[in-house]
Amino acid sequence: MTRPMLSRRDVIVSFLGAAALQSCRRRAAPPEVPGVLVDRIHEIGHLLRQGELPRASEDTAKLDCLVVGAGAAGLSAAWRLRGAGLDSLLVVEVDDVLGGTAQSGKNERSAFPWGAHYLPAPLTNEGPVPRLLRELGVVTGVDETGAPTFAEEVLIHEPEERVFFKGHWYEGLYVRAGASAEDLAQLHRFEAVTGALAAARDGQGRKAFAVPIETGSDDAEWTQLDRLSMADWLTREGFTSPRLTWLVDYACRDDYGATAQHVSAWAGLWYFCARQTGEEKNDGYLSWPEGNGKLIAQLAKSVGAERLRKNVLIHTVEETSGGWHAHGIDAKTRAPVRYFARQVVLSTPRHVAGRILSAWRTARPKFLDAFVSGPWVVANLTLSEKPKGRGFPLAWDNVLYDSKSLGYVMASHQSMRASAVGPAVATWYYPLADGDVAAERKRLLGTTYEDWRAIILADLLPAHFGLEQQLERIEVMRWGHAMVRPVPGLIWGEARREAQVPLGQGSLHFAHSDLGGLALFEEANWHGVRAAEAVLAGLGQTSPSWL
């Protein structure tokens, strides 16, 4: 994609705002740090827009079940099917790396995430995520309440979080330095409100806000919060403190890739309520240097390499006698392939499902319009030394108060060799969080590596003296459709329910985090297992539910 040439100034202002220019004016030209744009998936995926692609005339394989997409949901479905002993199974993935937005990479300094980088510690020992964690060997037992306990090495090491504010780093994410009495009073009231909502139960004993959301309450007392934005809810409830509204907006951008104005109040409150009971919070976060790539690797190991095919673009899925045909091409050679499967799990985002399902190309379901996916950028910065700054020491999560970015996590923080000095990898996150996602996506795909080098340096240099000398390499991943946004009306609207209904008399099933309305591993995992158990029922196999 070509675009008018923009100056360094224009690029920085476009993505960081005019204030970021001040730091650039005080510095010499940024160093020519080597690096690259690593994303290529959109180049293959956009072939779906080019009309009819070649088709094979014979089946490449005949299967009991084909899983299309090897992100967290697709691999979770295959994991569940293998857990039931299903052998006639294949997972196909268009990318040459498994995991979707939970994939990871590695260099000589550290492993690192390319997207999701942590898993909140589950509050319960029941369900598929705790089962996966037990397989991974990180659940050490249960406490007196029956909640799981976790190996120390996977719990985030202290310090966990800090925020850069007016030239100094401060502990935590809420800036208490200089906070007024009214600021603190609103913070305490907000904590009381969210604590009460976290403790709330319906008549069936279900939490008002639960993980995954399908296990929680659907009572209108709480679901009506899905009809307004989080920003409007804050205004309605009289929360006006700039420090509190910044914290809530940051939370929405961090988990959902959108501002509080574009996130439903139910989803915004879920962020603060679902990980606690009202009396106790969870044990914190579980993470690895590669982030949730660790979970992806465990799922893939359970499925088996012989049942995984990378670099396969499925472009048409259509019903046929006794099952389904999935037509595709080898993403590298463009050679056509065709799979026949009695049952299919389509674990792609809704916008992709709308393009590859033959029936939906003919008659596009209206509910697809309710699903909005936002673009992101993730960059991994290889450093010869850990970054230096004023104030509170380097943490796992390092947030910049006045930035449109989310700051960065230290991928190497969880390494047992972590120390105050030495080489490291920092993973920097930037959600394109405005409301018009189509315009944001176009803006994203018009950027170059040099653009992102300038943006990243303008963002981080004010907080880190000498960073330009420590940078060895920058690698940038642009995610055009990174994650579903829980816009008002999505979570508890009809579209999300309709999108889960199987096709072909119950032989094609859907699995993806966007079916949960929240782009989180727990949602992807739950919907993958749900779809897999529907497959088993369709194949006539009985197995105790993992849900």
Q: Which of the listed residues 277, 297, 318 is the one where a domain comes to its end?
A: 277
Q: Containing H/E element for 41? A: helix 41-45
- Strand runs (DSSP E) across 192-292, as ranges? 285-286
pLDDT value, residue 41: 59
Token pair recorded at residue 471 = 């940078």
Same domain? For 461 and 377 the reply is yes
User: Would you say 228 and 488 are in contact if contact means Cβ atoms under 8 Å apart?
Assistant: yes
Place of tokens 């692609």: 53
Same domain? For 427 and 337 the reply is no
Same domain? For 417 and 385 the reply is yes
The answer as to whether 127 is a domain residue is: no
The per-residue pLDDT of the chain, averaged, comes to 93
Amino acid at 60: T
Give me the number of domains the chain comprises. 3
Same domain? For 497 and 367 the reply is yes
Same domain? For 433 and 528 the reply is no
Does a cis peptide bond (omega within 30 degrees of 0) precede residue 159? yes
pLDDT along the chain (547 residues), means of 10: 62 88 60 89 69 89 98 98 98 96 94 95 94 96 90 92 97 96 98 96 96 96 98 98 98 97 98 86 87 98 98 96 96 94 98 96 96 97 94 96 97 68 91 94 93 95 92 96 96 97 96 97 98 98 94
pLDDT value, residue 213: 96
Residue 355: CATH number of its domain:
3.50.50.60
| Separation CA 73–CA 531 (nearest Å) | 9
The answer as to whether 103 is a domain residue is: no
The answer as to whether 167 is a domain residue is: no
Token pair recorded at residue 151 = 């190996």
* Residue 351 C-alpha from the chain's centroid: 16
The answer as to whether 250 is a domain residue is: yes
Amino acid at 85: G
| Separation CA 484–CA 374 (nearest Å) | 6
Place of tokens 């749900």: 530
Q: Tell me the HSE value of 233 on the side-chain side, using a 13 A CA sphere.
A: 24
The whole domain housing 214 covers 179-277
Same domain? For 477 and 380 the reply is yes
Same domain? For 360 and 494 the reply is yes
The answer as to whether 139 is a domain residue is: no
User: Would you say 483 and 256 are in contact if contact means Cβ atoms under 8 Å apart?
Assistant: yes
The answer as to whether 146 is a domain residue is: no
Same domain? For 18 and 83 the reply is no
- Strand runs (DSSP E) across 321-401, as ranges? 323-330, 336-346, 373-383, 397-400
Burial 33-50 (b: 16+ CB within 10 A, else e): bebebbbebeebbeebee
User: Would you say 380 and 35 are in contact if contact means Cβ atoms under 8 Å apart?
Assistant: no
Residue 241: CATH number of its domain:
1.10.405
pLDDT value, residue 415: 73
| Separation CA 513–CA 477 (nearest Å) | 20
pLDDT tens digits for 422-462? 799 999 999 999 989 999 999 999 999 999 999 999 999 99
The answer as to whether 3 is a domain residue is: no
Q: Which of the listed residues 440, 469, 484 is the one where a domain comes to its end?
A: 484
Crossing angle, helix 521-538 and helix 72-83, to 10 degrees?
A: 40
| Separation CA 272–CA 288 (nearest Å) | 23
| Separation CA 117–CA 396 (nearest Å) | 11
Amino acid at 64: D
| Separation CA 39–CA 431 (nearest Å) | 16
Q: Which of the listed residues 253, 277, 301 is the one where a domain comes to its end?
A: 277
pLDDT tens digits for 65-112? 999 999 999 999 999 999 999 999 999 999 999 999 999 999 999 999
Same domain? For 470 and 378 the reply is yes
The residue among 433, 355, 424, 367 whose CA lies nearest residue 396 is 424
Same domain? For 335 and 434 the reply is no
The answer as to whether 158 is a domain residue is: no
Burial class (CB in 10 A: 0-12, 13-18, 19+), 146: exposed
Give bridge partners of residue 427 from the DSSP assignment: 380, 409
| Separation CA 327–CA 339 (nearest Å) | 7
CB < 8 Å & 24+ apart, contacts of 218-224: 218/492, 222/197, 222/266, 223/266, 223/491, 223/492
Radius of gyration of the chain (CA): 23
Does a cis peptide bond (omega within 30 degrees of 0) precede residue 148? no
Same domain? For 418 and 454 the reply is yes
